[in-house]
A and B are shown apart, each in its own frame.
Chain A
Amino acid sequence: MTLIVKTITRLTVGLILLYGIYIVLHGHLTPGGGFPGGVIIALSFIHLMLAFGKDTALKRLNQLRASILESLGAIMFLGIAISGFLGGYFFLNFIKRGEAFNLFSAGIIPLCNIAICFKVGAGLFLIFVALVVLSNSQEK
């Protein structure tokens, strides 16, 4: 990739990651939530891969760690759902609700958003890496 693309990438990748985290954390207040935030976080890593090549991106987040992160996200979501059994029902909102429009409110919804963000972000990144590795191994 040319010098212009590499410079702009170096400047904006961190901001894209930060924007994705903002969308995830404010999922119960503004539109967004776990899935779009996870996609944007995955996009920041894919942006790094497109501009600098596969090895730079894999040095930041290699395949083993992404795979573990994905499974951890899924197990966290299921754990939150099962721990609703403590309150009596599966998937019950058992944490205190708080008052509306605050950042720490709405019970289990922010925790679920974070779990989904891990799973979707790591999953999309792994899909992209798998497709790139496949096409690389086929060209040889």
Chain B
Amino acid sequence: MSIYFLCLVLLSIGVYCILRKRNLIKIVIGLGIIEYAVNLFFILVGYRMYGRAPILARSEEILNMVDPLVQALVLTAIVIGLATTALIVAIAIRIYEKYGTFDITKINKLKG
């Protein structure tokens, strides 16, 4: 039970990072923390009591395993997170070229 609560703590740290930090790169790191927290929660959903890793080998019998479907889904989610992070970091570098600063209080040309 406490493991799921720690996932929630990680999620709230990520949300705090996005809301309160002023540097662009710290906001991107906060986004990464949110994605890690959700992926971690997803994998913990698949835990079964006394389960072991869901890999079939040639010589072993099939005992109870943890849920393998969740691991495939989280692999896809990690790839999606990687693609989004790469795109946002590229945009952040270009913003630095145009505006000369990483501070979001100074990047506010669009108003109203």
By a beta-carbon cutoff of 8 Å, the part of chain A in contact with chain B is 30-31, 35, 100-101, 127, 130-131, 134-135, 138
Known: A35-B75, A35-B79. A101 touches B55 (CB 8 A): no
Contact between B93 and A135, CB atoms less than 8 A apart: yes
Contact residues, B64-104 vs A (CB, 8 A): 75, 79, 86, 89-90, 93-94, 96-97
Cross-chain contact A131 with B90 (CB below 8 angstroms): yes
Question: Which of chain B's residues have a CB closer than 8 A to the CB of A131?
Answer: 89-90, 93
- Is B111's CB within 8 Å of the partner chain A? no
Number of interface residues of B (CB under 8 A): 13
B20 at the interface (CB under 8 A from A): no
* Contact of A134 with B90 at beta-carbon distance under 8 Å, contacts A35-B75, A35-B79 already known: yes
Given A35-B75, A35-B79, answer yes or no on A101-B90 (Cβ-Cβ < 8 Å): no
Residues of A within 8 A of B109 (CB): none
**With A31-B55, A101-B58, A127-B86 known to touch, is A134 a contact of B94 (CB < 8 Å)?**
yes
Interface residue from A31, A35, A138 paired with B97 (Cβ < 8 Å): A138
CB distance from A74 to the nearest CB of B (A): 13
5 contacting pairs across A/B (C-beta < 8 A): A100-B58, A101-B57, A101-B58, A127-B90, A138-B96
What chain A residues lie within 8 Å of B96 (beta carbons)? 138
List of B residues within 8 angstroms of A134 by Cβ: 90, 93-94, 97
A35 to B78: give the CA distance in the assembly, Å. 10
CB-defined contacts of A135 to chain B, threshold 8 Å: 93
CB distance from B104 to the nearest CB of A (A): 19
In the complex, besides A101-B56, A101-B58, 4 extra interface pairs with C-beta distance below 8 angstroms are A35-B79, A134-B94, A138-B93, A138-B96
A130: B residues at CB distance < 8 A = 90
Which A residues touch B58, using CB under 8 A? 100-101
- Interface members, chain B 25-67 (any A CB < 8 Å): 55-58
A101 and B79 alpha carbons, distance in the complex (Å): 27
B residues in contact with A101, CB < 8 Å: 56-58
Q: 8 smallest A-B Cβ distances: which pairs?
A: A101-B58, A127-B86, A138-B97, A134-B93, A35-B79, A31-B55, A131-B93, A131-B90
